[in-house]
Amino acid sequence: MQAAGLAVDPANYDLIYTAPLTPGMSLEDIFTRFNIDRPADFKGHSLSVSDVVVLRHGDRQEAHYCDDVGFQEVPEFLRENPLRTAELSTEQNENMIDGIINNTPPPEQPEAGEPVAAPPAEPPQAPVHYYTINEDAARRAKEANSFYDYKPGSATAEYRSMVDKAVEIAQRQKKRVDPEFHEKIDQLLDTYARLLAQNMNKGYEIAARVPSVMIAGPANFPVKKKQKQLAADDKNMEEWQHIQGLLDKIRSTGMGGISADDPNALEKLQAKLEKLEAKQEMMKAVNAYYRKHKSLEGCPHLSQKSIGAFQSGMAEGGGGAPFLPWQLSNNNANIRQVRSRIEQLTRQRENAFVGWEFDGGTVEINREANRLQIFFDGKPDETTRNALKENGFRWSPKAEAWQRQLNDNTIWVVDRISFLRPLSGEKPSELQAKARKAQREEKPSIRAQLKAAKEGQQQKPPAKEKSQDLEV
């Protein structure tokens, strides 16, 4: 949320479930329960990124934001927007009081008689692709397990109803995120529709293999076949749960941090850094004014309206500075973190990476996709595939390669995989070190560049005199 410049606004959330907080229950216990062992009366989606859990300890409450790794406490969720007073002094119109200090000028008001601009259009909805449901298989499954007749088209109707709900989720998410994520949301939606149809058709085929004992009767009932059927049904149900997890991916798309895969990652991080630094300077200036004057009256960094809001909040809190030390400290930590990330990405993009050949294939560097990709001459055996999965590689049908994000950690991981050893006998990390050394040698140092520039200035011919320039 912070990476996207957003605040955790309770107006964007709905209360889904409440339950007693048992002694000793941790946030990790709650996460596990609502992902693996869900309560029978819980009808929501799996607990995932961007969800908020509120814990009540007597009269005290705590709000925790579900991040991509662990939870982050968000006390602002339980009170009015903490930046509201700051925004009242910096933002230019009331509709920008949103937890983001951006200070965009208000839109110009049209003159009398001029047409008024229409409100922003809804995000475009990609054409919904409904995949085919095997109605014959659905009918046979019904006849094998029920005394009631099958209603033609009911399986297709059920499938389309589930896809339509996924479309609603996708459209809501598009409204929340930057348009650059819309294509990814549409891809996830299509994947959900395709895999759901495959799973439902497989389920109908499994259900029709062996009739229910109520239909066939207990005499000579094929118990072993029924056991195999139940095992296949359990596996298909696991796949169904995985497919439903795609809905959580749709809900979380665009809500995480700035990915290194984003070609505009450095620009976005720089913009985020500038916002954080402006916020830090504003908070320091307001506190300095208060220390000097013992009052916020006349503070040039705040409007009269925000001064009143600050003074009211400070009176309720027992005095103290307008912005508390933890607010300054937390924001400063975020500044350091973003700066470090910018330096890391800059180094990574400047570093040279080279591929190599190994016995049975090649390793290639895909800078555009920010991936290290492994291409085998043929399909690798199961042991090889498992080794790749254990080391963080995943098969990409689109690229037809095993791949992982391109960075130094990946190179060090590949060092440990013996079947990817280069034909030269060197380690992959040694190949990268050679490439970077060659890169440094080709690019002159800053001292050498300054020396060359100085020598160029000395060799520059003297300028002509003004009288010569003016001769006709």
Which among 46, 92, 57, 99 is positioned nearest to 77, based on CA atoms? Answer: 99
Could you tell me if 97 and 81 are in contact, meaning their C-beta atoms sit under 8 angstroms apart? Answer: yes
Per DSSP bridges, beta strands 394-396 and 60-66 are: unpaired
Greatest alpha-carbon pair distance for the chain in Å reads 121
DSSP annotation string for 150-205: P-TTHHHHHHHHHHHHHHHHHHHHHHHS-GGGHHHHHHHHHHHHHHHHHHHHHHHH
Could you tell me if 342 and 269 are in contact, meaning their C-beta atoms sit under 8 angstroms apart? Answer: yes
Q: What is the predicted pLDDT for the residue at 85? A: 46
Is the pTM higher than 0.85? The answer reads no
Q: What is the predicted pLDDT for the residue at 95? A: 43
DSSP annotation string for 128-163: P-PPP--HHHHHHHHHHH-SSPP-TTHHHHHHHHHH
Specify the residue for token string 């230019």. Answer: 92
Token representation of residue 73 = 């406490």
What distance in Å separates the CA atoms of residue 334 and residue 277, rounded to the nearest whole number? 10
pLDDT, mean of each 10-residue run, the chain (472 residues) = 63 80 79 77 78 81 79 75 48 45 48 51 74 94 88 92 92 84 89 94 93 83 90 92 91 74 75 90 90 88 83 72 87 89 79 90 90 93 93 90 90 93 92 85 61 64 45 34
- Cβ burial of 171 (10 Å; 0-12, 13-18, 19+) is middle
Q: Residue 327 to residues 87, 288, 323, 451: CA-CA distances in angstroms?
A: 15, 15, 6, 47
Q: What is the predicted pLDDT for the residue at 364? A: 94
CA angle 406, 408, 412 (to 5 degrees): 110
Which among 339, 194, 211 is positioned nearest to 269, based on CA atoms? Answer: 339
Q: What is the predicted pLDDT for the residue at 91? A: 47
